[in-house]
Amino acid sequence: MLGHPLWNSGILLVALLPFGCGATGDAMRGGPRSLRAAEGRTAIERVYSSTDHELAPAVSKNGTRLLLEVHERAPDGSCCADPRIAELALTEGRADPASLRFITARDEAAVRPTWGPGDLSVLYTASLPHPSRIAYRLGGTETSAVPLVFGEASAAWQFQRDIAISVDGKLMASSLSPLVKRQQARHYLIPLEDLAGAFIAVAPADSPKLSRLFAKGFEPAISPNGELVAYIADELGHSKVFVGELATGRLIQVSSDGGEDRSPTWSPDGRRLAYVCRRHPGIDEESGELCVVSADGAGAAVQLTDGDGTVDRPWWAADGYIYFAANELGTFDVFRMKAPSR
């Protein structure tokens, strides 16, 4: 059994992870890939594309705005400048390129955007001005980004990559890593072999310094009712999707097929999870498909895409579509598919 029951109501989630681009970073340097719907599944629709890489789409509740993590190409076409968070207008699943505006500076290296309660604010993680990666909240009642520092012993931990918040704004989630080695003045390194030592931590959303550890894992996502957290954890050498109950600490494994799984996202009704499932480990480490599974672990996962490209960071939107990034034409663009009815 992974983890231990430390959950209470009104707490904040955090996970601990190492630096590094990983498979997505490797795929960004690769060439064109194929992207197609699995047999019997609905068609894949293109939402937005450019010459840059667009990752981690996040759709507002009313379906009119889209957040992206943008990795801009250099003038010579090489990849890539430090990422920035961008916002675009969205109409019936199509983003308007003319509406693109960046909401973070390039030197922040901002990633993993998500909408705050009521779509009134944006949360993301960034490297500057703090020496290690931490989370920020932009918007709402604040006129500038507010740092969200977890734990009294924050010098011993750092955010890494992920930030999430519950629908009611009482819970947040992110990724942290233990600081094991300092490199240069601004950056910390975490050995890749320490990935299995990543942790989920929890804290009251209004008092992040009261954070405490909950379970081994990373990439947490809070259920719509605020009672569960889905996350990725190691199971017999493979990354799998788990769900934990906030009140009891009970954990269940919900994905079990071969390969490596990443990036769970909840359906609007909280009954299912979409995630990235790698079906061909050892053959192509960059490949990844879009899968859906019941949040209670009942039944087999359903595979929605079938190709040799990399699906990245799905977002299950209120309009019934699952939005995701994929590297079909040599760059990561944004796509969507209608979620299966069951």
- Say if 181 falls within a structural domain: yes
Please tell me the distance from the alpha carbon of residue 86 to that of residue 57, in angstroms, as a whole number.
10
Question: E strands, 26-152, where?
Answer: 45-48, 53-59, 65-71, 84-91, 94-95, 101-102, 111-115, 121-126, 134-139, 146-148
Residue 303 located in a structural domain: yes
Q: What is the largest CA-CA distance in the chain?
A: 54
Task: Give me the tens of pLDDT residue by residue for the chain, a chain 342 residues long.
Answer: 333 233 333 334 444 333 333 445 544 545 556 788 888 888 999 999 999 999 999 999 999 999 999 999 888 878 888 899 999 999 999 999 999 999 998 888 889 999 988 898 898 888 765 555 677 788 866 667 877 766 654 445 556 567 778 888 888 777 676 654 443 323 333 344 444 457 776 666 676 666 666 677 889 999 999 999 999 988 877 889 999 988 888 999 999 877 789 999 999 999 999 999 976 555 445 568 999 999 999 988 999 998 777 899 999 999 999 999 998 777 899 999 999 987
φ, ψ at 195 (rounded to 5°): -55, -40
Tokens 């490949």 correspond to 287
- In sequence order, the 6+-apart residues with CB closer than 8 A to the CB of 25 are none
Do the Cβ atoms of 174 and 220 come closer than 8 Å? yes
Phi, psi dihedrals of residue 112, rounded to the nearest 5°: 55, 60
Residue 100: per-residue pLDDT: 97
CA distance 231 to 251: 10
Domain contains 7: no
Query: Is 206 part of any domain?
Result: yes
Domain interval for residue 284: 12-338
User: What span, in angstroms and rounded, lies between the C-alpha atoms of 64 and 87?
Assistant: 10
Both tokens assigned to 199: 């942790």
Q: Does residue 4 belong to any structural domain of this protein?
A: no
Taking the C-alpha atoms of residue 230 and residue 218, their distance in angstroms, rounded to an integer, is 9
- 306: Cβ contacts below 8 Å, ≥ 6 apart: 36, 37, 38, 39, 289
Task: Tell me the H-state helices in the chain.
Answer: 22-28
Give the span between the Cα atoms of 71 and 144, in whole angstroms. 23
pLDDT value of position 62: 94
What would you report as the CA-atom Rg of the chain, rounded to the nearest whole angstrom?
18
Find, among 262, 276, 176, 246, the residue nearest to 216 by Cα: 176
Indicate the pTM of the whole model.
0.84
**Encoded amino acid at 94, one letter:** R
> Among 310, 256, 334, 305, which residue's Cα sits nearest to residue 27?
310
Rounded to a whole number, what is the distance in angstroms from the first to the last CA of the chain?
A: 28
Q: Which residues contact 290 (CB under 8 A, 6 or more apart)?
A: 274, 275, 276, 277, 303, 304, 305, 311, 314, 322, 324, 337
Supply the CATH number for residue 265's domain. Answer: 2.120.10.30
Is residue 21 in a domain?
A: yes
Helix, strand, coil: what percent of the chain each, to 5?
10, 45, 45
CA–centroid distance for 78 within its chain? 25
Within a domain: 6? no
Instruction: From residue 137, give the alpha-carbon distance in Å to each of 127, 168, 206, 229, 268.
Output: 14, 15, 12, 21, 23
Of the candidates 8, 2, 15, the residue with the CA atom closest to the CA atom of residue 213:
15
Structure tokens at 114: 């998500």
Domain count, the chain: 1
User: What are the C-alpha distances in Å from 244 to residues 13, 59, 201, 250, 260?
Assistant: 11, 25, 12, 6, 19
The verdict on residue 92 lying in a domain is yes
Amino acid sitting at position 201: A
Tell me, what's the pLDDT at 187? 35
**Angle ∠(220,226,219) on CA atoms, nearest 5:** 5
